[in-house]
Amino acid sequence: MNKEMMRRLRTAGKYQRKALRALFPEEMSGHLDVIESEVKAMFMDLALEMMKEYKNGEQESCDTGSTTRKTKKVDIM
């Protein structure tokens, strides 16, 4: 993606955050901050775990090759 698109995505994210906060009372802003930081931490942990698995060669392959499919040629007239 180019820099302009990344800038627009960041701006859109800021507006989404403001819109979500506008739905709740101001007293809940502290709770939303905690939830936001926890979700960020969860994604970071997930990304690190995936990187470790990839580095160790334990990633799953999408093509298992255990099943074979047969196709039949059909002529449409």
pLDDT at 58: 57
- SS3 at position 73: coil
Sorted by sequence, the CB contacts under 8 Å of residue 9 that are 6+ apart come out as 1
pLDDT band at 74, cuts 50/70/90? confident
pLDDT at 68 over 90: no
Write down the residue that tokens 């819109």 correspond to. 19
Alpha-carbon distance of 11 to 5, in angstroms, equals 10
pLDDT at 25 over 90: yes
- SS3 at position 70: coil
Alpha-carbon distance of 36 to 20, in angstroms, equals 12
Q: Comparing 65 with 69, which gets the higher pLDDT?
A: 69
pLDDT at 70: 75
Task: Tell me what the mean pLDDT of segment 5-12 comes to.
Answer: 95
